Amino acid sequence: MSAHETVEITGHLMDHGILSRVLDDIREYSGDYTIDRFDVGRETDDPSHAVITVTTDDNESLERLLMRLQTRGVNQVDPGEASVSAADVDGVFPDHFYSTTNLETRVRIDGVWLDVGNPEMDCGLILERDSAGRPHRVYTLPMSDVRAGMLVITGASGIRVTIPTPDRTAGAFGFMESEVSSEKPQAVLVRQVADGMREAKAEGKKVLWVAGPGVVHTGAAPAMVALVNAGYVDVVFAGNALATHDIESSLYGTSLGVDLAMGRGVEHGHEHHIRALNTIRKEGSIKAAVDSGVLTGGIMHALVTHEKEFVLVGSVRDDGPLPDVYTDVIEGQRAMRAGIADVGFCLMVATMLHSVATGNILPASIPLVCVDINPATVTKLADRGSSQARGIVTDVGLFLEQLAVELVPEYRRS
Amino acid sequence: MSAHETVEITGHLMDHGILSRVLDDIREYSGDYTIDRFDVGRETDDPSHAVITVTTDDNESLERLLMRLQTRGVNQVDPGEASVSAADVDGVFPDHFYSTTNLETRVRIDGVWLDVGNPEMDCGLILERDSAGRPHRVYTLPMSDVRAGMLVITGASGIRVTIPTPDRTAGAFGFMESEVSSEKPQAVLVRQVADGMREAKAEGKKVLWVAGPGVVHTGAAPAMVALVNAGYVDVVFAGNALATHDIESSLYGTSLGVDLAMGRGVEHGHEHHIRALNTIRKEGSIKAAVDSGVLTGGIMHALVTHEKEFVLVGSVRDDGPLPDVYTDVIEGQRAMRAGIADVGFCLMVATMLHSVATGNILPASIPLVCVDINPATVTKLADRGSSQARGIVTDVGLFLEQLAVELVPEYRRS
Amino acid sequence: MSAHETVEITGHLMDHGILSRVLDDIREYSGDYTIDRFDVGRETDDPSHAVITVTTDDNESLERLLMRLQTRGVNQVDPGEASVSAADVDGVFPDHFYSTTNLETRVRIDGVWLDVGNPEMDCGLILERDSAGRPHRVYTLPMSDVRAGMLVITGASGIRVTIPTPDRTAGAFGFMESEVSSEKPQAVLVRQVADGMREAKAEGKKVLWVAGPGVVHTGAAPAMVALVNAGYVDVVFAGNALATHDIESSLYGTSLGVDLAMGRGVEHGHEHHIRALNTIRKEGSIKAAVDSGVLTGGIMHALVTHEKEFVLVGSVRDDGPLPDVYTDVIEGQRAMRAGIADVGFCLMVATMLHSVATGNILPASIPLVCVDINPATVTKLADRGSSQARGIVTDVGLFLEQLAVELVPEYRRS
Amino acid sequence: MSAHETVEITGHLMDHGILSRVLDDIREYSGDYTIDRFDVGRETDDPSHAVITVTTDDNESLERLLMRLQTRGVNQVDPGEASVSAADVDGVFPDHFYSTTNLETRVRIDGVWLDVGNPEMDCGLILERDSAGRPHRVYTLPMSDVRAGMLVITGASGIRVTIPTPDRTAGAFGFMESEVSSEKPQAVLVRQVADGMREAKAEGKKVLWVAGPGVVHTGAAPAMVALVNAGYVDVVFAGNALATHDIESSLYGTSLGVDLAMGRGVEHGHEHHIRALNTIRKEGSIKAAVDSGVLTGGIMHALVTHEKEFVLVGSVRDDGPLPDVYTDVIEGQRAMRAGIADVGFCLMVATMLHSVATGNILPASIPLVCVDINPATVTKLADRGSSQARGIVTDVGLFLEQLAVELVPEYRRS
């Protein structure tokens, strides 16, 4: 009664450990495999191609394994046609719904291959048909947004997933692959992030920042303001804390220099914090506070002044919060999804929560760098599906300082 | 133009470093001080009493400093009468509102001292008058819940704050002070937590758990289930992740043993996760899934079966989420506030976000222990106002295993 | 002027990521490669075989790359004969000496393959000839022990290195591969370590412990004493600190319970420490102190009583040190090398320095588990050549407590 | 049968938490106390003075407690005369020997107060008499260096210890106390370290660096070389690893840039490491390798070229080691003691082992800054007696880069 299917994968399978992980997955899902064919790239730059027959105890296990393998870019040799079921209830996918990856995905419906426009992890795939009943488009949708009657792709058939070619990522942002000077790695890393941002801007793309309050605590706010002014910050995703600490610092000049020395943030205690929140709530919004002259400096002020977008999403630990904060996290996620359009480079600094949240919705094709002094944050990002994520364990304050020096010639330490 | 005020503090000022911190605060707020009187407790157990005149540049600084000092239990010698202003706008306190501590607080209105029933940090104090216009009660209210017309205490006058006496805390949970056997400190710590829970139950109080998904990852779910069954878990505060990982583990038997070995959780990748969410959403709620026989084991099942309360509050990184999750964090905070009634002991395990959120709303009088393998989480809690917080840096899985062995005689490793 | 060589490797190349790392190495050494042949194991358990031609700019680079690849188990297809040079000076190898791995190694001299008896990393290979001039044996020797006139193997020719087959390691200690119960991973890990020790004892092998002072600080000394008494501790490698803290604790009953609570050891300050050292120095040795009745309990006492071997090697931060401590680290390494004879299982607990030192000299064939609450220590061990290393990030005190309960039925928490 | 003694302490007792720790000590040693007198400094800058009677169960406990309290600067009101015993055996102090602090210490012998010239922790005090039998000098000596017949101070009588006045430390290096700009704390910290070094040089003192291999891994070697060239590095204490990695990097240009990105050092594996060691051993010493033109760059080359002193002390995990390394750790400690003469500022970067070792021998009066990306290293230093230690948790590479920019105008990132 065992079930089996033949799958294939193409790419730099060995030199990036992909095939190892594929075989690990098969074992983890209690499957067995036979490698039917393995055409190895002979030269350093040639891609390899593997054809593998996987076997499991029953069809259900097989289906789950096949969906799992697609997160690695492993597709069925004979993909067949995608199956579709209508959702019965709002917010619930049909059984056996296909769970998405953040990789480029195509779906075959009625013999036609359709591209999925907005790859995102852990969503369902929704099929829209045109008035003639022909497949019109397929897009990812999070579980909470599905509505009864929507057509949802089920099973793993009829789906092809493509892992990014290293060249392409390297073109945009070739961290590990590139020549790394033996002399000043930290300067090289700063320059590579700077280059990634310059390239994104040159291609007319946006630069997304995901930032935590550590940016303010480590004294990097002036550097970030300089980068906003110079046009290297197009969209900011953050929580209540970054914005509040930044505003508190502007309103009260609270010295948080001690934090850097001690390596940890003073959490509460400063009632300045709660007063800053009340002040902005009184104004009605951060923009209103800027317009009325109440808020005259800092990161949020710079964003408002340059009409840059920011999405602040709340968390259960928030005081206040600021009037601009989404207190409903699902609405916040929707705002973030809207915010990633046209993003060509993403820098995450000093935040675990919002970095993971952003990693959840970013397509794998967008270069992504995570900077934190805590290796756990960097590892957590890198562990996730995002093959494009690069981590830098360093001091956020010094890193942004150097990034500003690199990108903004007129920025100088005073 | 300088401003000054005379304040006093009573307690074990030196042996717990309180006075040091008071003087640090004064310096940090650019104030100056003269110690007018210092009656030191002669014997080991005698309290000390200090009278200090603080001076600042202007009245506004003085007021901010006085409010700051009250978070340490420092009160004005001549407290006077509290000032009251009506809120003009929903969600905004009047200027100069008094920002609360989590310590026992009394307010003098019209010559009468009123106790604040629910001490909580970073809130405002709302005055209710009876139909005759007499002061009826004073209570804490978070900024977002204030409504136009409510009477809000402003300034630091007319307010007295009391720091818990060490004896009292020690009675409930005397960690550091107690005799610690030289032989098995870890066993002693487990026993002290067990004693804290037993005492709370003996006094008819509830035991509150704040738990992260690490409880499931480290294999401690069976231990926690045993503790639920035995009545040592009355209320649980958690996020979507704990509940989902627990349910996923029950539905699919996903082995996460590798996590313990590697010291970090596998974040995503397991699409089981997203299927578990869909399954419960289809049922409508966790309770419905238990009632229908879909969910037959695990922590959430035990809580439902024993009709224990749980408050799940979402975050921006959530998938799904489960239908029971508050997606609006402010509503979630309100549910948590309601949940802490009658709590006599609080254990926080393996979560930074929800631990800090709970620390924000817990009165300082409730004994609180935070267990995490990451020293940063423990430090973060202890840094906060909560003088009652005790931190234990240890393996969550082994700790809960031993706690279950200690509290539930019939619990045995199988 | 480029140089090239054809190499091969056999084993489970993909499912453990070995081939990926081999290709990474080639790139890192600025080499190029052609995969001439790749016979992939068709079934799950079949080994694979790869033949690769590597090319570098010159002969010297090639030789360095070939030596590097041998650390992965990659050998020349046509190994040829080993070259030999005599050392000119004491303590210095000839140019181009072969730098060893900790894998099973064979060397071909005069057409005969000789096994290297004591594989150890980063050593040279010394050839002994018999009186007739025939190759007699080849053994590893650290650089500092080489003497002028010794015959040293140079270059990478004539050498074959074998990576351990997973089956074999699994037989002895199959951590990751084995079924891990979904319910209590931490109990499973404890049991696997216990099984590893039982197997080693059953085979007549010794159990080696490498231990840091954290064993004492976390209150695990009684558990370790129980394990010494029960015969599960044959050899201990440690520093001055473990022995001194253990002895201090026995002599003065110093309570270090606070450490566990705070997650870090109190380093100095207790002058008990320095007095304990003086007391044992006065006795002349730890054994003398046991014999004279001065030292009556603790780990060192148990080791002396049961005539178990311990090697204490000093470090620059030591006070005292104890008279038993090797103050010369090279002599200490020699004593450790002598101590690993007949070891069949190695447990490292709560020490970075001595764990790395032991990892340097242990053959890859000896199962090795590293337990520490700090992920960095565990990672550091696993990063090193030791493919056999398994890391467990957990609380040392609770882990040893459970290990004692598992292995010593009569051990109970009192 | 209880024993008691009256002690006193003068200084800024409350605002730096000193008195709290004194009372904690008394409790920890199971003592009891009565505060007889407490003259509190009325104004912010006035010192306080406390007179405390401590009581313990017996004389021995009292003596131990008194010695403990002296590490806090607490002295007997009536110190009396110091007692002296001759050592019986080499390397062993007499019973009841006085265990030293690293604070300024004076001893009264025959009615005369003698200054202890070289305060160091955890040593004994040796009395030298002149030919007429009069007390000539008192100096600290580590246990291992005491010889039979030497006169050793015993008990706590006749000894006065002085805690550094904050002003004095602040003069030399006023970290926490100084105004910290709210804008760029990290720049301020760099500048304060730079100022500390400039002041030491201006006073004709030496700057001591204690450095780990992370200096090389993070790419900071060029910055450190620039600082050596500019005269801001007079003495270096390190281990085999720093010197070997630096030399390996110079000889082979090994790129370790990956390390910074991954946040951890590649330990072994590079057989370049072992070859670099052999190369220098062949030359006979680092200096010989510089003289012969074999070593032409890097930190060690710069130190040799500028005739700066370095003390390399080995550890049990060393390969090689370099010929300049002290393999006997006690001899290494002696060399370090000799090396701290005339040191006026100490910077510790990226090493736990050698930092703690240096902390053991440095007088408390020498300003000391510890820089590490790992908070545990910084905390460990700060926990120790060294009240002068300041910790900075940051990226070592970026920190040294900025320090070089600050101190060496012509140093520029290329």
- Three-state SS sequence of C38-100: EECCCECCCCEEEEEEEEECCHHHHHHHHHHHHCCCCEECCCCCCEEEECCCCCCCCCCECCC
Residue A413 lies in a domain: no
**What CATH code is carried by the domain that includes residue D83?**
2.40.420.10
Please say which residue of D26, D51, D76 terminates a domain: D76
Q: Please give the angle made by the CA atoms of C208, C210 and C211, to the nearest 5 degrees.
A: 135
What confidence category does residue B178 fall into, taking pLDDT thresholds of 50, 70 and 90? very low
- Contact, D214 vs D265, CB < 8 A? yes
For residues D203-209, give the mean pLDDT: 97
Q: Measured in whole angstroms, how far is the alpha carbon of residue B315 from the centre of its chain?
A: 19
Q: How far is D99 from chain C (nearest CA, A)?
A: 7
Residue D112 has pLDDT above 90, yes or no: yes
Looking at every residue in chain C, the average pLDDT score rounds to 85
| Structure tokens given for B355 | 């631990």
pLDDT of residue D14: 67
Q: For chains A and C, what is the number of CB pairs under 8 angstroms?
A: 46
Q: How far is CA D361 from CA D100, D337, D385, D408, in A?
A: 11, 7, 11, 30
Q: Count H helices and E strands in chain D, helices first.
A: 15, 17
HSE of D363, CA atoms in CB hemisphere, 13 A: 23
pLDDT of residue C238: 98
- ipTM greater than 0.95, yes or no? no
Residue D286 lies in a domain: yes
Q: Which residue out of D4, D40, D180, D264 would a mutagenesis test of the B interface target, given it has the greatest number of B Cβ atoms within 10 Å? A: D40
pTM for this one? 0.85
Nearest beta carbon to residue D316 from set C99, C268, C329: C329
**What CATH code is carried by the domain that includes residue D44?**
3.30.70.2690
DSSP secondary structure of C93-142? PPTTBPPP-SSEEEEEETTEEEEBSS--TT-EEEEEE-TTS-EEEEEEE-
Residue with tokens 């059953």: C202
Residue D148 shares a structural domain with residue D108: yes
Residue with tokens 């990030």: C393
For residues B49-71, give the mean pLDDT: 88
Residue D68 shares a structural domain with residue D88: no
* Dihedral, CA of residue A35, residue A40, residue A46 and residue A48, to nearest 10: 0
Residue D88 shares a structural domain with residue D67: no
Residue with tokens 């995002």: A386
Residue C98 lies in a domain: yes
Q: Of C266, B168, B20, C298, which is closest to residue D28 (Cα–Cα)?
A: C266
**What CATH code is carried by the domain that includes residue C350?**
3.40.50.10690
Nearest beta carbon to residue D222 from set A183, A219, A249: A183
What confidence category does residue C74 fall into, taking pLDDT thresholds of 50, 70 and 90? very high
Please say which residue of A135, A163, A191 terminates a domain: A163
Distance CA D246, CA D226 (A): 14
User: Which of A127-141, B153-167, B278-292, D351-365 shows the lowest per-residue confidence on average (mean pLDDT)?
Assistant: B153-167
3-state SS of A358-375?
A: HHHHCCCCCCEEEEECCH
**By residue range, what is the domain housing residue B106?**
79-163
pLDDT of residue A11: 83
Please say which residue of C110, C129, C163 terminates a domain: C163
Distance CA B78, CA A349 (A): 48
Residue D234 shares a structural domain with residue D129: no
pLDDT of A260-310, one tens digit each?
Answer: 333 333 433 467 788 899 999 999 999 999 999 999 999 999 999 999 999
Q: How far is CA A385 from CA A238, B79, B266, D39, D263, in A?
A: 22, 59, 10, 64, 20
Amino acid at A31: G
pLDDT of residue B329: 97
| Structure tokens given for A202 | 């040159």
| Structure tokens given for A159 | 């789906």
Q: Which residues in chain C have their CB less than 8 angstroms from residue D251's CB?
A: none
Distance CA A67, CA A60 (A): 11
SS3 content of chain D, % helix, strand, coil (to 5): 35, 25, 40
User: Which of A1-10, B10-19, C350-359, C360-369 shows the lowest per-residue confidence on average (mean pLDDT)?
Assistant: B10-19
Residue D413 lies in a domain: no
Residue C265 has pLDDT above 70, yes or no: no
Distance CA A337, CA C395 (A): 41
Phi then psi for B268, rounded to 5 degrees?
Answer: -120, -145
- Contact, C276 vs C242, CB < 8 A? no
Residue B139 shares a structural domain with residue B182: no
Residue A301 shares a structural domain with residue A192: yes
DSSP secondary structure of D367-414? -EEEEESSHHHHHHHHHSS-TTEEEEES-HHHHHHHHHHHH-TT----
Q: Which residues in chain B have their CB less than 8 angstroms from residue C182's CB?
A: 249, 253-257
Residue A313 DSSP symbol: B
Q: How far is B294 from chain D (nearest CA, A)?
A: 43
Residue C41 shares a structural domain with residue C170: no
Helix (H) or strand (E) holding C225: helix C221-229
Residue B188 has pLDDT above 80, yes or no: no
In terms of average pLDDT, the best of B356-360, D209-213, D256-260 is D209-213
For residues B335-351, give the mean pLDDT: 95
Say if the Cβ atoms of B258 and C180 lie within 8 Å.
yes
Alpha helices in B230-326 (DSSP H): 240-252, 257-262, 272-283, 286-291, 299-305
Q: Of D206, D175, D213, which is closest to residue D352 (Cα–Cα)?
A: D213
Touching D (3+ Cβ pairs <8 A), the chains are: A, B, C
Looking at every residue in chain D, the average pLDDT score rounds to 85
Residue A412 lies in a domain: no
Residue B298 DSSP symbol: S
User: Which of A368-372, B83-87, B342-346, D127-131 shows the lowest per-residue confidence on average (mean pLDDT)?
Assistant: A368-372
Residue A383 has pLDDT above 70, yes or no: no
Residue B166 has pLDDT above 60, yes or no: no
pLDDT of C141-154, one tens digit each?
Answer: 999 999 999 999 99
pLDDT of residue C42: 67
What confidence category does residue B312 fall into, taking pLDDT thresholds of 50, 70 and 90? very high
Nearest beta carbon to residue B315 from set A315, A321, A374: A315
Q: How far is D356 from chain C (nearest CA, A)?
A: 6
User: Which of B164-173, B222-231, B382-391, C3-12 shows the lowest per-residue confidence on average (mean pLDDT)?
Assistant: B164-173
For residues B101-117, give the mean pLDDT: 93
Q: Which residue of C has its CA nearest to A44?
A: C33
Distance CA D144, CA D330 (A): 8
pLDDT of D137-185, one tens digit each?
Answer: 999 999 999 999 999 999 989 999 987 765 433 333 334 333 323 334 6
pLDDT of residue C397: 86
Distance CA C73, CA C7 (A): 10
Residue B243 shares a structural domain with residue B367: yes
pLDDT of D303-350, one tens digit each?
Answer: 999 999 999 999 999 999 999 999 999 999 999 999 999 999 999 998
Residue B118 lies in a domain: yes
Distance CA C337, CA C321 (A): 22
pLDDT of residue D270: 60
The number of distinct structural domains making up chain C is: 3
| Structure tokens given for D159 | 């000894």
For residues C89-108, give the mean pLDDT: 93
Residue D239 shares a structural domain with residue D291: yes
Residue A409, preceding peptide bond in cis (omega within 30° of 0) = no
Neighbours of A296 (CB within 10 A): 10
Q: How far is CA A186 from CA A4, A172, A335, D128, in A?
A: 49, 19, 34, 54
pLDDT of residue D78: 92
Neighbours of C240 (CB within 10 A): 24
Say if the Cβ atoms of A14 and C15 lie within 8 Å.
no
Q: Which residues in chain C have their CB less than 8 angstroms from residue B264's CB?
A: 375
Nearest beta carbon to residue D314 from set C91, C323, C329: C329
| Structure tokens given for C349 | 């607990």
SS3 A170: helix
For residues C271-291, give the mean pLDDT: 93
Residue D99 shares a structural domain with residue D229: no
pLDDT of residue A191: 87
User: Pairing relation of β-strands B309-312 and B235-238?
Assistant: parallel
Residue C175 has pLDDT above 80, yes or no: no
Say if the Cβ atoms of A15 and C15 lie within 8 Å.
no
What confidence category does residue B322 fall into, taking pLDDT thresholds of 50, 70 and 90? very high
Residue D204 lies in a domain: yes
Distance CA D183, CA C23 (A): 47
Looking at every residue in chain A, the average pLDDT score rounds to 85
What confidence category does residue C70 fall into, taking pLDDT thresholds of 50, 70 and 90? confident
In terms of average pLDDT, the best of C349-353, D62-66, D299-303 is D299-303
Q: How far is B374 from chain C (nearest CA, A)?
A: 9
pLDDT of residue C387: 56
pLDDT of residue B264: 32
Residue B258 shares a structural domain with residue B288: yes
Q: How far is C372 from chain A (nearest CA, A)?
A: 16
Kindly state the percentage of chain B with pLDDT values over 70. 86
Residue A363 lies in a domain: yes
Strands (E), A110-217: 112-115, 124-129, 135-141, 151-154, 159-162, 206-211
Integer-rounded Cα radius of gyration of chain B: 24
- Contact, B47 vs D38, CB < 8 A? no
Q: Which residues in chain D have their CB less than 8 angstroms from residue C66's CB?
A: none
Those residues whose C-beta lies under 8 Å from the C-beta of residue B266, and which sit 6 or more positions away, are A383, B256, B258, B259
DSSP secondary structure of A52-118? EEEEESSHHHHHHHHHHHHTTT-EESS----EEEE-SSTT-PPTTBPPP-SSEEEEEETTEEEEBSS
3-state SS of D263-297?
A: CCCCCCCCCHHHHHHHHHHHHCCHHHHHHCCCCCC
Kindly state the percentage of chain C with pLDDT values over 90. 55
- Contact, D65 vs D59, CB < 8 A? no
| Structure tokens given for C145 | 């022990």
Distance CA C395, CA D110 (A): 54
Higher pLDDT, C218 or A343: A343
Q: Measured in whole angstroms, how far is the alpha carbon of residue D8 from the centre of its chain?
A: 27
User: Pairing relation of β-strands A389-393 and A368-372?
Assistant: parallel
User: Which of B300-314, C28-42, C145-159, C234-248 shows the lowest per-residue confidence on average (mean pLDDT)?
Assistant: C28-42
Residue B271 shares a structural domain with residue B365: yes
Distance CA B292, CA B307 (A): 16
| Structure tokens given for B287 | 């309770």
